[in-house]
Amino acid sequence: MKYKYNKKILKKRINVTIYPSTIDLVKSKHKNISNYIEKLLIKECKDEKVVGDERMAFSRCDDQYKKEINSLLARYGRRDKQSIILDGGKAETSKTLIKNGFKANTIYIPNPTKDFEFIKDTYKKSRNIPDVVNCWLNELIVKWKVKHSIGLAYLDYMCTLHGNDNCKPIDDINLMFNKKLFSDGSCLAVTISTHDGRKSKSIFKNQDLLELLNVVSIASLQNEYTIEVLKGAGSYRKSMWTVLFKVYKKWLPLGNYDKMAIKKFETEKLYIYKGTISETGWNEDGFMDFCLDNKPHKCKKAKGTYNASFFDSQDPNFIWVWDNGFENWFEVPNTWKERYS
């Protein structure tokens, strides 16, 4: 492979990196000037460039994009569950999460690169320390116990979606969904580089981004999850993309819900509830929450507009009043029961 940068350009470009693992990458790719690079890697960082298929992440130390993303993660992730984070030497992501109420001992940071020691060092004087694990993400996921479900995963890759020998984002994402690690309402964030050194046959740009959306939506559907792409993140620094997904454990079947809107319940008809949280005024014991699985439920007896009992609720003879959240009920064809039971 031929590299774009000679000694002169590197001198201009390289100062210090916030991702110490990239030092190794650069040195290995520019063996002839590796001592020279070592000397340069002591000052303040300024820029980022891509060499071949890899990203030389010489980003600004006060990287505004990462700060913004990290605070979105703190907002959208579930802090009552476990988090898996690809963090860098300065542990900016995990520090932001902890500052925002995530418990350090629920945060797992796999990192087998030089950053492992840097992360450890960053937390050296802290009382609350995340679990920094000296392995690749896929090794951590393989060993992960399903009962420790995940409320936040930040797959902050520094490679393309297809990755390299050590890191294969598509496989990681599929593995996490196949193992059903995501908890209901969790957040998955993925950063990839859409710059691919290989020559593309297409004249369209950023096709890897579409593939990422595809990979996540297929993996979620196959494992009975529903995903929503959240607003807030996007592309930055030419070729980097971060996409934030909200992951729901319940599936919502595809359909034209406008056509399925109801004016009142009717006995023997099949209904689905589209909401994901129990409404105020619902039975405190959670007896009305059965509908939150978003699956079709058959009405046993309807009364008036909002009152209905359901065959597969805890008490099929009890008529509940659904005036709160009624707009979330939709009628679905009878065939759906067989398809989704």
Residues that bind ligand SAM (CB under 6 A): 19, 21, 66, 70, 86-88, 92-93, 110-111, 113, 115, 136-137, 156-158, 167
Considering the complex, what minimum distance in angstroms separates the CB of residue 250 from ligand SAM?
Answer: 29
3-state SS assignment for residue 210: helix
Partners of 156 in the beta sheet?
A: 191
> Are the C-beta atoms of 128 and 104 separated by less than 8 Å?
yes
Query: Cα–Cα distance between 59 and 43 in angstroms, integer?
Result: 12
Q: Whole-number minimum distance, CB 304 to ligand SAM, in Å?
A: 54
CA dihedral 272, 278, 279, 280 (to 10 degrees): 160
Q: Which is nearer to ligand SAM, 37 or 86 (CB)?
A: 86
329-331, strands of its sheet edge to edge? 320-321, 307-310, 297-303, 270-273, 329-331
Smaller CB distance to ligand SAM: residue 10 or 158?
A: 158
Least Cβ distance, residue 98 to ligand SAM (angstroms)? 13
State in angstroms the smallest separation of the CB of 4 from ligand SAM. Answer: 21
Rounded to whole angstroms, the Cα distance separating 241 from 194 reads 7
Token pair listed for 271:
């209904």
Closer Cβ to ligand SAM, 67 or 339, answer by number: 67
Query: Cβ closer to ligand SAM: 48 or 331?
Result: 48
- Residue 58 or 273: the one with the smaller Cβ distance to ligand SAM is 58
Q: Is-contact 173 181, C-beta < 8 A? A: no
* Structural contact between residues 301 and 218, judged by C-beta atoms closer than 8 angstroms: no
183 and 249 Cβ atoms separated by less than 8 Å: yes
Please state the closest distance from residue 113 (CB atom) to ligand SAM, in A: 4
